[in-house]
Structures are given as C-alpha cells and as structure tokens.
Amino acid sequence: MTLASMARKYEQRVPPRDTAATSAMIASLQAEGYDTVAAPFGHALVAEAEADERIVGLSADLAKYTDLHVFAQAMPDRFYQMGMAEQLLMSAAAGLAREGFIPFATTYAVFASRRAYDFIAMAIAEENLPVKVCCALPGLTTGYGPSHQATEDLAIFRGLPNMVVVDPCDAADVAGMVPALLAHDGPAYARLLRGKVASVLTRHKPDYTFTLGKAQMIREGADVLVVSTGIMTMRALDAADRLAADKVDVAVLHVPTIKPLDVETIRAEAGRGRLVVTAENHTENGGLGEAVARALLTAGVTPAFRMIALPDAFLEAGALPTLHDMYGLSVGKIVEQIKSWL
C-alpha cells in the first residue's frame, strides 16, 4: 500500500453510481471470447463422491462462494458446515482423515493461509493426512483489498513439507485436479476458480488434460517462453495472440502444479535460447518465478529471465479490471512488458 493509497483510505466515501464498476469487485474473472463452465469444482467433486464414499466436504460458512454448495445439495449427509471458524474447519478435516475419510475443506485462500496455517501445518501436513484444502479468491481475484487478497498463499504453502500446491488455469484444470488430488495420498493446497469458469486450455490444446506434477506446452513459439500458472496462463495465451501481430512468436508453458515443480520440462524448454518470462497471480516473493529461477540456476541454465508478478505490497481495493491493469496482470500490460524486454 502506497502513501497515496493510505491517504485515500481515510477519505470520505461517496456511494458509487456506476453499478458495473461496483459489481466488478466481486464478479467472476472476465474471460472475453471464452466459453464458461458453471461450478466445475462442485460438479467434479460430486462425480467422484458418487464412486467413493470416503469423500466428505467441509466449509467455513462459504460453501456458496467456493462452489461446495453443489456437493452439499447432492450429498447433505457428507457435508459439514463449520461456521466462521477456519481453525476448527482444518482440525475437523484432520480428524475425519484419521478416521479414513478424504476431506475436501473449502474457504477463502486468505483464511487458510493466514488464519488457519498453524492448524494445517500441525494437524494435517506434519501428519501427512489426505486433506485437500481448496480455496477461492487466490491472489488478485477480488477487489476487496488486503483482507481478502491472498497474494502470498503460494509462498506460504510451498514452504510447508508434505504439501502439494496447485494453481489451476480454467475449468478443465479445476475439474481435472479433483480426481488427481483424490488419488494423491497426502495433503494438498489448491487455488480454486469459482462460479462461471472459463474454458481456455482445450481451445488451444484440444488434448489437454490436467496431470498432477506436470507442466505442459500449450502454445509453441520461437522468440519468448512464458512459464505461467493459474489465470496467468489464460492471459499469456491472449497476449501471445496480440504479440503475433507484431511478429513476436511466444510459447506458453502452463505449470498448474507449483509443488512438486516439473523441473525437467522447465529446464528443457528454458534452455532453447529464448527470453524466459514467468507469469503468476501472486507476489514476486516465493511463488512460481522464484521456484523457476532456482530450478534453472542450480542446473546451470541461464537464459535472459524476467518475472510478471504482483509487487511486494498490500494492494489497493477496486474493480478487478482496473487493479489487474494497475499491477501488470492484464493482457495489455503483459504485451507491453514483453515488448520492453525484447
């Protein structure tokens, strides 16, 4: 948060008349030109639970806002509403896991990574229990300011032993990660896209399927390699289309699993003489960019390297399109940055 933004924090507020701008603070991420899938997480979880009675769902008063309400409606006897008590949520999930269940615990990413971290660390990760912590509003996907913007969650959970960390791009990733997490015999943290989720990856790569721990090349290109995760893969693909008009050939390597990182694929692709740019909806500290840099440097692979990420700061509140442009996550800003580095 800048000095200017701190001053604005205490200015008198005038109720906005622009309802479109107001709703943009809470709306699903815009994905112009893409088809969408409604609540892919909830529907995928129901499909798996129909075949596996060990699956249970828990939420801290946010089932509607994590798409777990789909599961709750389909299987009310296997749904647990824990109220606004995230520490209890994680402890209860750990207890259910000890009894042979596979809990999917949902809340907002800020509440899991900040408020309930010690309970996840001690009750779930240290015991290596198969609890899947699936969290909405990751990174800068809400305009409600630092209280709801989980800009450091990947760094927090990357540092936790035994924890798998997933950042899906679209509906295909979200639906595909559910059975993959179920098959993984251990704890996992997954960022969650909710509501109407764009269908992006299969448009560019029709045979795409989510595979835990694997990066996949979605678009080939000779000039620049963008190594991206989460919603930034969608933005990188759109930016690549725009850059193609200026004769800049951009490859996009999608990395949906942050931990374990697919080091082999990243090193191989980064060693082909292209500018390497990492792109993530996360602070520049401790996320994909630093993980990729470490993987390359320790292997002696040293391409020209840049990072697109959120700053090391508490971010402002506002409409998401405005914030994404302000902090360099919009398609237009990605195009500008890549051009400036060539």
pLDDT digits (tens, 9 = 90+) for 225-248: 999 999 999 999 999 999 999 999
Residue 33: which pLDDT band, with cuts at 50, 70 and 90? Answer: confident
pLDDT in tens, 152-210: 999 999 999 999 999 999 999 999 999 999 999 999 999 999 999 999 999 999 999 99
Find the mean pLDDT for residues 306-316. Answer: 98
Give the list of residues 6+ apart from residue 150 with CB closer than 8 angstroms, or none.
108, 109, 110, 113, 114, 135, 137, 138, 139
DSSP string, 109-176: HHIIIIISHHHIIIIIITTT---EEEEESBSS--SS-TTT-BTTHHHHHHTSTT-EEE---SHHHHHH
Share of the chain above pLDDT 90, in %: 90
- Burial of residue 207, with CB atoms counted within 10 A of its CB: 0-12 exposed, 13-18 middle, 19 or more buried: exposed
Residue 7: which pLDDT band, with cuts at 50, 70 and 90? Answer: low
Please confirm whether the linkage preceding 168 is cis (ω < 30° from 0): no
CATH, domain 32-198, list 3.40.50.1400, 3.40.50.970, 3.40.50.2300, 1.10.1740.10:
3.40.50.970
User: Parallel, antiparallel, or unpaired for β 224-228 and 275-283?
Assistant: parallel
Distance CA 313, CA 310 (A): 8
- DSSP three-state, residue 225: strand
Residue where the block lists tokens 């990072």: 307
pLDDT in tens, 312-322: 999 999 999 99
Q: Is the domain 213-341 a CATH 3.40.50.920 member?
A: yes
Domain boundaries along the sequence of the chain = 32-198, 213-341
Find the mean pLDDT for residues 107-134. Answer: 98
Decide if 32-198 and 213-341 have a common fold.
yes
DSSP 257: E
Distance CA 50, CA 175 (A): 15
Distance CA 97, CA 91 (A): 10
The number of angstroms, rounded, from the C-alpha of 97 to the middle of its chain's C-alpha atoms is 24
